[in-house]
Amino acid sequence: MPNYFALIPAAGHGARMGSEAPKQYLPLLGRPMIHHAIAKLCNVPEIQRVYVVLAPDDTYWTQYDWEAFSAKLRPLFCGGDTRAASVLNGLLQIKSEIAADDWVMVHDAARPCLMTHHVTQLITEVGEDKVGGLLAVPVADTLKRADEQGRVQQTEPREGLWQAQTPQMFRHGILVNALQAIGVELPTDESRAVENLGLKPRLVACDSRNLKVTYPQDLKLAELILENLAD
């Protein structure tokens, strides 16, 4: 039976937040934001280990106490210049520790409102899949494509469109192959890299509470969600 592991790429800075500290370390309910994602993933019984891929020169990580997660948590100081590079570097560094058929859940450090049942649903629906899959939400809003002047060029049909979230779960071997095969265009998520191999990941319905903190106002929204979160 394959095992389950989690990997959090956290080597970026998050320039759109306009903060001096990297986004993953911004305070959220008295903890660094990344703490909330780590806590949820470490709390899932099926997950054997949670890896966090950090920048080689990260000086923030050691300023916090991670002892509560020591049984599962392991930092990897091998982050790259892009998300894809960080994920690939992390996967290669742990290659000797896990099997090619083992599942790896890649989760955003900036998605602090992940719930345990989101992860268990992903495991239930994708654990027997030949390709893998990801949490996502069907698009509900009307979508507009803008022109160069910032005016509506056309309205895009939303039927069949989903907004990708994380975790995105793929077998270690497939994900390594997908990321190593990347050409000039860098994927913004792991699913895109796997799709480039001609494979079709499974979409697992999630909800909007699993938001990604991108802008300063998102921190307040994440705070409100966490304060009222019932797993």
In tens digits, what is the pLDDT along the chain, a chain of 231 residues? 899 999 999 998 765 565 678 999 999 999 999 999 999 999 999 999 999 999 999 999 999 999 999 999 999 999 999 999 999 999 999 999 999 999 999 999 999 999 999 999 999 999 999 999 999 999 999 999 999 999 999 999 889 999 999 999 999 999 999 999 986 567 889 999 999 999 999 999 999 999 999 999 999 999 999 998 766
Q: Nearest Cα to 119, choosing from 191, 206, 14?
A: 206
Could you tell me if 205 and 122 are in contact, meaning their C-beta atoms sit under 8 angstroms apart? no
Q: How high is the pLDDT of residue 21?
A: 85
Q: Report the distance separating Cα 196 and Cα 78, nearest Å.
A: 25
Q: How far apart are CA 167 and CA 38, in angstroms?
A: 12
pLDDT at 185: 62
Q: Do residues 201 and 88 lie in contact, with contact meaning Cβ atoms separated by under 8 Å? A: no
Instruction: Note whether 15 and 111 are within 8 A (CB).
Output: no
What pLDDT score was predicted for residue 198?
Answer: 96
The residue whose two tokens read 């050409």 is 183
- Can you read off the two tokens belonging to residue 123? 């495991």
Q: What predicted TM-score, i.e. pTM, was given to this entire model? A: 0.93
Domains in the chain: ranges and CATH: 4-227 (3.90.550.10)
Looking at residue 30, its pLDDT comes to 95
Q: What is the dihedral of CA 66, 40, 140, 17, to 10 degrees?
A: -10
SS (H, E, C) the chain: CCCEEEEEEECCCCHHHCCCCCHHHCEECCEEHHHHHHHHHHCCCCEEEEEEEECCCCCCHHHCCCHHHCCCEEEECCCCCCHHHHHHHHHHHCCCCCCCCCEEEECCCCCCCCCHHHHHHHHHHHCCCCCEEEEEEECCCCEEEECCCCCEEEEECCCCCEEEEEEEEEEHHHHHHHHHCCCCCCCCCHHHHHHCCCCCCEEEECCCCCCCCCCHHHHHHHHHHHHCCCC
- Work out the number of other CB atoms within 10 angstroms of the CB of residue 187: 18
What's the rounded Cα separation, in Å, for the pair 89 and 141? 36
Q: How far is Cα 45 from Cα 4, in angstroms, rounded to an integer?
A: 10
Residue 207: the pLDDT is 95
Angstrom distance (rounded) from CA 1 to CA 203: 23
